[in-house]
Amino acid sequence: AYRTALGHAVERVNAELSVTERIRRFVLADEPFGIENEQLTPSLKIRRHVLKQVYGARLEGLYKA
């Protein structure tokens, strides 16, 4: 249900974007990014290497589809 609602929101946003700017596929995170799960630094910067470890396979799947 949540993914469907998010998909509809993406469709509404995409309607106002050019073809090159549109979101085609997306991945939902299992939990919010936070300092506690080490996905953000104390200054709230994204720790990309951690996200790649956690979500890497799913993100790569976006480009294979």
Instruction: List the domain range (segments joined by +) for residue 23.
Output: 2-64
d(CA 62, CA 27): 8
Query: How many angstroms from the chain centroid is the CA of residue 56?
Result: 11
pLDDT band at 65 (very low <50, low <70, confident <90, very high): low
DSSP-H helix ranges across the chain: 2-14, 48-64
Give the total number of structural domains in the chain.
1
Q: Is residue 1 predicted with pLDDT exceeding 90? A: no
**What are the pLDDT digits (tens) for 18-64?**
999 999 999 999 999 999 999 999 999 999 999 999 999 999 999 88
User: Which of 55, 26, 23, 17 lies closest to 39 in space, CA to CA?
Assistant: 55
Q: What is the pTM of this model?
A: 0.72
> Beta-carbon neighbour count of residue 50 at 10 Å?
15
d(CA 33, CA 44): 9
